[in-house]
Amino acid sequence: MLIPFPFAYLFGAVCLDAAATLANRPRWYSTARHMRALGIGSALVAAVPGIIDYFLAVPPNSSASSRATWHGAANLSAVTLMSAVAASRRDDTPPRSWEMAAQVAAAGLMSMAGYLGGTLVYRNQIGVDHRHADAGQWQEQYLPPANDEEVDAGTSADLAVNQMRLLHVGDRRVVVARTEDGVVAFDDRCTHRGGPLSDGTLACGVVQCPWHGSQFDVRSGRVASGPAEQPIGVHHVREEHGRLYLRLASS
């Protein structure tokens, strides 16, 4: 929701500087200067939720994480170029050639970052709240790191058939789920491009990745349908006295 502001202001500043020169309207340079300042300010505000998503919502070791890195780097470079122009521009005089070139380059970088940002939302589903789509992830739990020991993975009664629980065990992401044949545990990372399987759907013992639709048998980890080619990691989980106990396979 915040992105249109820096995009419109900074693009507007480039266009106004160019239009002022072409139409010989020096007062437009002043409007461009104000738009540049508003664009830089609103870009810094829009960066805050972006940084939060980068560290908390983007799955590690995934295509989304490299895409998000390029997205952030392109935006940061564009704002840096625009800030350099803002610091050097003088009122009511045409932009020097390097100032115009820097602004055009910043507009190109912002366009690239915008495309990557759209792909992060529409393809990688970063920032999409899956609860309203009735997707599998319904609960998230943080546990301390486990070596070879069993860890208590919470109550089992509220895990219905085809529901998944995302566990952060130290720095590992593991899904505990119930199928028609009992409870299972498997890695949250799709072997295709790192999609979060806990955001996918589980049915008949098969989980489907939300990013490109790879399917995995959650008991054995084998690929039921591509594009993934490698199986996912599976772990041992048991149910006793209404609780789940998880033992991680070595990574």
User: Which residues here bind ligand FES, judged by CB under 6 A?
Assistant: 190, 192-195, 209, 211-214, 227-228
Minimum CB distance to ligand FES smaller for 185 or for 228: 228
Q: How far is the CB of 189 from ligand FES (least distance, A)?
A: 9
Q: Which of 84, 81, 103 is nearest to 19 (CA)?
A: 103
Please provide the DSSP assignment of 131-175 as one string.
GGGT-SEEEEEEE---SSS-EEEEESTT--BT-EEEEEETTEEEE
Q: How far is the CB of 118 from ligand FES (least distance, A)?
A: 18
Minimum CB distance to ligand FES smaller for 99 or for 188: 188
d(C-alpha 209, C-alpha 212), whole Å:
6
Minimum CB distance to ligand FES smaller for 94 or for 213: 213
Minimum CB distance to ligand FES smaller for 113 or for 209: 209
Q: How far is the CB of 124 from ligand FES (least distance, A)?
A: 9
Q: Which of 88, 112, 110, 111 is nearest to 100 (CA)?
A: 88
Q: How far is the CB of 77 from ligand FES (least distance, A)?
A: 28
Minimum CB distance to ligand FES smaller for 71 or for 192: 192
Q: How far is the CB of 196 from ligand FES (least distance, A)?
A: 9
Instruction: Give the Cα-Cα-Cα angle 135, 137, 143 (nearest 5 degrees).
Output: 175
Q: Which of 38, 28, 31 is nearest to 6 (CA)?
A: 38
Alpha-carbon distance values, 188 to 34, 37, 165, 197 (Å): 47, 43, 10, 5
